[in-house]
Amino acid sequence: MTGDGSSAMAAATESIRRIPALDIESFIHRAFLKAGMPDGDANIVAQLMADADLNGSDGHGVFRLPGYIKRILSGGLNLTPDIKVEKERDAMALVNGDNGQGHLVMRYCAQKAMEKAKQSGIAWVGAHHSNHAGPASLYAKMPLAEDMIGLYAAIGNANHLPPWGGTEMLLSTNPIAFAVPAMEEPDVVLDMATTVAAYGKVKAAAQRGEQMPEGWMIDREGNPLTDPTKSDEGFLLPIGGPKGYGLALMIGLLAGTLNGAAFGKDVIDFNADFVTPTNTGQFVAAINIAAFAGIDNFKRSVDSVIRSMKTSPTLPGYDEVHLPGEQSHRKRLDRAENGVPLHDGLLKVLADLAEELDVGPLA
């Protein structure tokens, strides 16, 4: 697990290096600063992105930096946004992100939700004119610090999914995340796309020259598509068929339409268009546990649920039952001690970025 390339692990690990999270954070900070982001904001975004890498959200940490920087240098992001509440009541707010970096907007929204939920018991804060904010779990987990349950959902920044039975890509992988605190056990954190596979997994399979299993994608005739280099010829499949389509649609209506953010035909493919504002929509909700129950009692009950799941006998082929967030928790412990594993391919891209920006390299 330490990625030192020794003995039998050499073949599998020689293309991976372990980089301390603090080095990653510092590099991201340098890059944003050089691209023109104010120091305080660059600090916040760098910390959240490095946090994503620590948590094992490999497609949402430093991996995203080149795309974010490209958007800034293309003039597609507002570096000095006036992020503010446009409408609010006791238990809700609608936030205008002013086309700022999504991490800043969603951190603002999560804090606002926690602040309101302290009094009102629950609060829901939606955003429009936001941008890609990294993994959903980051914002669902923020309320945990105040002994609250977190809920987050977002409209993905590219459409890869048609409505069920259709062929026009009008939906994204629209992820949803929940975080529930435990006492002695790791917190329960679910962070899932509403598609069987996230699009990043398709791209990763293509990079590795591997075939995809049936069930990830279909082509325009409805046949299984297993060659990831042909992903442009088909679309992702939602979980549970029409159910996952329904979930993606509902998240779109709640995170997009309700907030006045882009949904459906209006979604910009942010991997192809680095200039047009994305008008990304997201929401975060915080549920104040103290309003419902004694906090310690609740957390102990969550421990008890976790333990009952963990002690279930297993199916053939399964070593153990996992709780949502458990594997991320283990990765975090490992990565905090041994560094974040980054592929040579990504390290090369980041080295090129350092040269382009003329900032100190990552490692």
How many Å apart are CA 344 and CA 218, to the nearest integer?
A: 31
Closer to a second copy at the Cβ: 32 or 263? 263
Q: Is 135 in the site for a second copy (CB under 8 A)?
A: no
Instruction: Render 24-52 in DSSP notation, one character per residue.
Output: HHHHHHHHHHHTT--HHHHHHHHHHHHHH
What residues between 47 and 66 interact with a second copy by CB under 8 A? none
CB of 138 to a second copy, least distance (A): 17
Taking the least distance from each CB to a second copy, the nearer of 44 and 302 is: 302
CB of 135 to a second copy, least distance (A): 15
Which string of DSSP letters, residue by residue, matches 188-236?
EEEEE-SBSS-HHHHHHHHHHTPPPPTTSEEETTS-EE--GGGGGGEEE
- Sole binder of a second copy in the list 16, 73, 85, 250 (CB under 8 A): 250
Structural tokens at position 261: 């953010």
Please list, in sequence order, all residues whose beta carbon lies within 8 angstroms of the beta carbon of residue 198, skipping any fewer than 6 positions away: 59, 173, 175
Among 13, 26, 78, 167, binds a second copy (CB under 8 A): 167
Dig out the tokens for 146 from the structure. 């105040």
Going by the DSSP 8-state scheme, the letter that residue 138 receives in this structure is H
**Exposure string for 89-128, b = 16+ CB within 10 A, e = fewer:** eebbbbbbbbbbbbbbbbbbbbbbbbebbeebbbbbbbbb
Select the residue interacting with a second copy from 22, 145, 293, 351 (CB under 8 A).
293
CB of 126 to a second copy, least distance (A): 7
Which span (52-60, 213-221, 332-340, 343-351) binds a second copy, by CB under 8 A? 213-221
Q: Is 316 helix (H, G, I), strand (E, B) or coil?
A: coil
User: Could you say which residues in the range 5-44 bind a second copy, by CB under 8 A?
Assistant: none
Nearer to a second copy by Cβ, of 192 and 357: the residue is 192
Q: Does 163 bind a second copy (CB under 8 A)?
A: yes
Q: Please report whether residue 158 would count as binding a second copy according to CB under 8 A.
A: no
Of the ranges 10-18, 203-211, 219-227, 332-340, which one interacts with a second copy (CB under 8 A)? 219-227
Contact 283, 125 (CB under 8 A): yes
Q: Does 122 bind a second copy (CB under 8 A)?
A: yes
CB of 80 or CB of 223, closer to a second copy: 223
Task: Specify the length of the chain in residues.
Answer: 363
The closest of 190, 131, 199, 138 to 171, measured between CA atoms, is: 199
Query: Comparing C-alpha atoms, which of 1, 87, 80 is closest to residue 36?
Result: 80
Say how far apart CA 355 and CA 283 lie, in whole Å.
37
Q: Using CB under 8 A, which residues numbered 92 to 111 contact a second copy?
A: 92, 94
Nearer to a second copy, 101 or 157 (CB): 157
Tell me how far, at minimum, the Cβ of 38 lies from a second copy, in Å: 30
Q: How far is the CB of 265 from a second copy (least distance, A)?
A: 5
Smallest gap from residue 104 Cβ to a second copy (A): 21
Restricting to residues 314-353, name those near a second copy by CB under 8 A. Answer: 314-318, 320-324
**Contact between 265 and a second copy (CB under 8 A)?**
yes
One residue of 70, 260, 338, 357 binding a second copy per CB under 8 A: 260
Map the footprint of a second copy across residues 186-205, applying CB under 8 A: 188, 190, 192, 196
CA angle, residues 31, 62, 102, in degrees to nearest 5: 80
Distance CA 21, CA 31 (A): 15
Which residue stretch of 9-17, 159-167, 204-212, 351-359 sits at the interface with a second copy (rule: CB under 8 A)?
A: 159-167
Q: Is position 230 an interface residue for a second copy (rule: CB under 8 A)?
A: no
How many of the chain's residues bind a second copy (CB under 8 A)?
Answer: 77
The reply on whether position 184 binds a second copy by CB under 8 A is: no
Question: Which of residues 252, 277, 281, 339 is near a second copy by CB under 8 A?
Answer: 252
Measured CA to CA, the distance from residue 131 to residue 280 in angstroms comes to 5
- The answer to whether the CB of 134 falls within 8 A of the CB of 52 is yes
Short-list 48, 5, 6, CA closest to 25 = 48
